[in-house]
Structure 1
Amino acid sequence: MTLDAHLVVHRGDFRLDLELTIAAGETVALLGPNGAGKTTALRALAGLIPLTSGHVTLEDRDLTEVPPERRRVGVVFQDYLLFPHLSARDNVAFGPRRHGADRRGAHEIADRWLARVGLTDFARRKPRHLSGGQAQRVALARALAVDPVLLLLDEPLAALDARTRLETRAELHRHLSAHPGATLLVTHDPLDALVLADRLVIVEDGRVVQEGDAATITAQPRTDYVAQLVGLNLYRGRGDGHVVHLEGGFALTATDVVHGAAFVAFPPAAVALHPARPDGSPRNTWPAVLTDIQRHGDNLRVRLDGPIVVAADITPAAAAHLDLAPGRELWAAVKASETRAYPVSS
């Protein structure tokens, strides 16, 4: 294991308590809402803020008391923090120089990395003459030029417009796939995490609430934040066979069998809306009141109140047919085959 860390940081009323391991060649995405502790964790790993307790071990070397400049760690910050008075070439050469390379050797390393990120022709430009995507690539080259055992990326695509972000994400994926060390990607964007990371770690209020590969987390979210992240309606109750009883007496039927504390989840697209109580097969049917309606891609996402609060995705044609507006009384239905039920304890 390349990185083995237990990060405990107290900052005022906030407490980060996070155990994290990342193998060589693995990219882990750290996701969570604002204030969850993601950037605090990254800065602690970089040595930019001290640990209250715990440890940071990289390649079996304890870095807990090692200053940032002596750690084999590369960092790409959200706003890149390129030196404005230096050219792209000198920005990339800065790290090798700090690690003992002479001027000529550092420039040779910088030239190789600028070529790898496709910026040979921009070597003499200063940051103010680079586009957002070009600045991001210079920052990545600068981080990788020190041959880091651990690469830390703090929201590396957040400052880019949508088109540049798409192109840069693909380039970043290529570089991370070739990086032999461990990589930690801090992001709030689920798409960045799903495309770039091998494993996801979800943090809320300074602690891990769920971790695993993308397929596991998207199939079985365990907090409201994770459910919203992957686009599912999520409820907690007690399972009794195929039925999960929720607080307030409402129950949802699933094809899964679960006993005891359980979650039940289904996508907004699984919710069918009717002007009157439907006949036929749906096992989960309830009266609801529309509280909100918004554009969601090519469809509309509506919020419904009732025995449970639920999001539903429908087409504009269906919305027109139902004459949807806030306050509209409807019936919602979800087939048991569209729900997933699973135990609270993993």
Structure 2
Amino acid sequence: MTAVSVVGAEPEAGTPVLDARLVVDLGTFRLDIALRIRAGEVVALLGPNGAGKTTALRTLAGLTPLSTGHITLGGQDLDRPDNRRWTPTERRPIGVVFQDYLLFPHLSALDNVAFGLRRHGLDRRQARQRAGEWLDRMDLAAQSRRKPRQLSGGQAQRVALARALAVNPALLLLDEPLAALDARTRLDTRAGLQHHLTEHPGATLLVTHDPLDALVLADRLVIVEDGHVVQEGDATTITARPRTDYVARLVGLNLYRGHADGHTVRIGADFSLTTAEQHAGEVFVAFPPSAVALHPHRPDGSPRNTWPATITGIQRHGDNLRIQLTGPIDVAADITPAAAAHLHLTPGQPLWPAVKAAETRAYPAATT
């Protein structure tokens, strides 16, 4: 999957390079999302397993056909079923880095990068020269003669990225590019990938399930669930105001939907939370697990937000423990190991969670 041309004018910053409406019917599943990506912009496509992320990437790459909709790249239609427009995979100005990299095992790192360049008209000497320049940019000059099996995971990822970028693609697709790496290699490779994406003049779509990869690498996030976009925007907007349970878990918040009347938000028939902000109508209420205090008994003079609950799970979460509780609402609480030992926490144990109104964040459920 490489670019149609390795030489040409670069798109101007801010120009919408990709304008797509992806509608794909696969049995009982339907993907129906719109994507627009500007020149120089990195967009992360996130969602749970089965949400449609891989289908979207395969459709853009020309590996899965559109049912309807369109894919327009650089002002040119690649796919438009209504007009019987279809561009074969190998003729799309698109570069792809797959999760397992798909390097040719019998070729050296240099010849892997040169492969796409040869396919688009450069002779062997020119292709290898340009491939060498890209390996040098990736700090891989010393590994140019090595076969993929002789490379580390991070090195193989950079070879795959060099191969995709060497042909100057209008659109770069990254399919979980860091998923196969161990934690230390992932950290170093993520930093290098961020640098190279910043320099890429075209559009980039990053498909990932890892919120840290998305927050570090992307300018904008698009969240898909069940084949539809449920939320999109920059990281600050999405982390401040999640709109689904998946997004709330992604950014580490407890999230509830209810009906507000002033400072009181009714959640379900028999439970309400007191919030710092006043609202009227349908709202979301969010607060972090760190805002939840746990008490063995109902505390005297407690905050107004307190209720009986039962522990359903205890997991390590960074330096703390994350306690999962059920009751009138399900809630996650983060506490220190020392506090957990003091409370003698075990699954099935009754407790009283408490959250101060000032620790909550309420905002309208209707999109604006």
For the aligned pair, the TM-score class normalised by the smaller chain equals over 0.9
User: CA separation in 2, counterparts of 1:117 and 1:169?
Assistant: 13
**Partner residue in 1 for 2:55:** 40
User: CA separation in 2, counterparts of 1:291 and 1:211?
Assistant: 32
Query: Is 2:141 the partner of 1:120?
Result: yes
Give a deviation string over 1:212-261, Cα, whole Å, max 9, x none. Answer: 01011111111111111111111111111211110132001111222211
1:18 aligned to 19, 33, 37, which one? 33
Residue 283 (structure 1) shift = 2.0
User: CA separation in 1, counterparts of 2:98 and 2:282?
Assistant: 41
One-letter identity of the residue aligned with 1:304: L
What TM-score, normalized by structure 1, do the two folds share?
A: 0.98
**Partner residue in 2 for 1:279:** 300
One-letter identity of the residue aligned with 1:244: V
Residue 13 (structure 1) shift = 1.2
**Partner residue in 2 for 1:248:** 269
Aligned to 1:290, the other structure's residue is in SS state strand
One-letter identity of the residue aligned with 2:131: A
**Partner residue in 2 for 1:108:** 129
Query: Is 2:234 the partner of 1:193?
Result: no
More off after superposition, 131-140 vs 278-287: 278-287
User: CA separation in 2, counterparts of 1:225 and 1:163?
Assistant: 27
One-letter identity of the residue aligned with 1:150: L
Residue 267 (structure 1) shift = 0.5
**Partner residue in 2 for 1:175:** 196
User: CA separation in 2, counterparts of 1:62 and 1:242?
Assistant: 51
Quote the RMSD (CA, aligned, Å): 0.9
Residues 302 and 354, structure 2, Cα contact 8 Å, conserved in 1:
no
User: CA separation in 2, counterparts of 1:55 and 1:15?
Assistant: 15
**Partner residue in 2 for 1:288:** 309
User: CA separation in 2, counterparts of 1:29 and 1:128?
Assistant: 30
In the comparison of the two structures, how many residue pairs are matched? 346
User: CA separation in 2, counterparts of 1:224 and 1:80?
Assistant: 32
More off after superposition, 2-11 vs 277-286: 277-286
1:212 aligned to 209, 217, 233, which one? 233
Aligned to 1:2, the other structure's residue is in SS state strand
Q: Which runs of 5+ in 1 are unaligned?
A: none
User: CA separation in 2, counterparts of 1:295 and 1:170?
Assistant: 27
Query: Is 2:68 the partner of 1:31?
Result: no
1:87 aligned to 84, 92, 108, which one? 108
Residue 143 (structure 1) shift = 0.3
**Partner residue in 2 for 1:77:** 98
What TM-score, normalized by structure 2, do the two folds share?
A: 0.93
Aligned to 1:63, the other structure's residue is in SS state strand
**Partner residue in 2 for 1:132:** 153
More off after superposition, 144-153 vs 325-334: 325-334
Give a deviation string over 1:31-78, Cα, whole Å, max 9, x none. Answer: 000111101101111111111111111111111111111111110000
**Partner residue in 1 for 2:70:** 55
Query: Is 2:278 the partner of 1:257?
Result: yes
Aligned to 1:168, the other structure's residue is in SS state helix
Residues 19 and 73, structure 2, Cα contact 8 Å, conserved in 1:
yes
User: CA separation in 1, counterparts of 2:193 and 2:119?
Assistant: 25
Residues 311 and 348, structure 2, Cα contact 8 Å, conserved in 1:
yes
Q: Which runs of 5+ in 2 are unaligned?
A: 1-15, 80-85
User: CA separation in 2, counterparts of 1:100 and 1:280?
Assistant: 78
Query: Is 2:25 the partner of 1:4?
Result: no
Q: Deviating runs (4+, > 6 A) in structure 1?
A: none
Query: Is 2:365 the partner of 1:344?
Result: yes
User: CA separation in 1, counterparts of 2:190 and 2:242?
Assistant: 25
